[in-house]
Amino acid sequence: MAQVIRLATRESALAMWQANFVKSALEAAHPGLVVQIVGMTTQGDRDKESPLTQLGGKGVFVKELEVALIEGRADIAVHSMKDVPCVFPDGLGITAICEREDPRDAFVSNSAAAFTALPAGAKLGSSSLRRRLQLREKRPDLDYLDVRGNVESRLRKLDEGEYDAIILAVAGLKRLGLANRITDPIDPIISVPAAGQGAVGIEARLDDEQTLALLSSINHADTFACVSCERAVSIGLGASCELPIAAFATLSEGQISLQTYVGINDRHLRVQGRSARDEALSMANDVTQQLIDQGADQLT
């Protein structure tokens, strides 16, 4: 009898791509394994109009999936790592992260070749306060608007003229076969990505040793190290949608470099760090403390 793993996922097009990606990777790594996808609709999916801050933060996209894990209706849950809250229910955790796709933000427009080319007063839409604040720092002359909905509905709103441009994730557009809609990727120096952006993570019960052993085969160690470094900043600052935090780590020749951003209204804090790979979490904690010393904990 074949071994079966039940995979919980949101039912949006992007979430289903991620679920099928993990399913294929697991089944390829373990011949005979059958991964069953259990689609679920979260509060964040049901309410596409309210700002995330009103819904309770990014955790609205994962809570129902975690309940399925706790109740034993699923063995693993697949998430976009940028949507994963800092605190997990007892007994759950991210146990594997797949190799990261391009983590940059994408400028998408039908009329301007780049973010810098938008005319003054242009309407720029994004669901992310982190993105809006960083871009406003560079272009305070634009009209920054919130935009909710899945990728396709946001693109439709752009095409119908509600916005002159919108900001999405490069990774999401590529995964949906919409790379042709990327007008210009935004340099991470201008818009530091969210912690975990572009990475797909797998959450599981920490006492399920059999499942953890299977997941270890698809964990990408370099991505796991970088995303863990990024999330250490978010955890140290008590990240939520009310506190716009960005953290982006890269790994080269055994060294991890970390960029961070925290902002609210007209205050923008940026701190960088660099360390050996095995000291990355300590370095991330030092960077977090520097942000706190500059007042990051008072920006909520």
The size of the chain, in residues, is 300
Residue pair 80/45 in contact (Cβ under 8 Å)? The answer is no
Of 75, 83, 164, 208, which residue is the catalytic one?
83
Are residues 13 and 79 in contact, defined by beta-carbon separation less than 8 angstroms? no
For 133-151, letters b (16+ CB in 10 Å) and e give bbbbbeeeebebeebbebb
Q: How far apart are the first and last CA of the chain?
A: 53
208 catalytic? Reply is no
Which residues neighbour 255 within 8 Å (Cβ) at sequence distance 6 or greater?
A: 274, 275, 276, 277
| Cα 49–Cα 51–Cα 53 angle in degrees, nearest 5 | 150
Residue closest to 202 by CA, chosen among 219, 188, 186, 217: 219
Question: Rounded to whole angstroms, how far apart are CA atoms 22 and 228?
Answer: 19
Task: Judge residue 52's burial from the number of C-beta atoms within 10 Å of its C-beta, 0-12 exposed, 13-18 middle, 19 or more buried.
Answer: buried
Residues carrying an active site annotation: 83
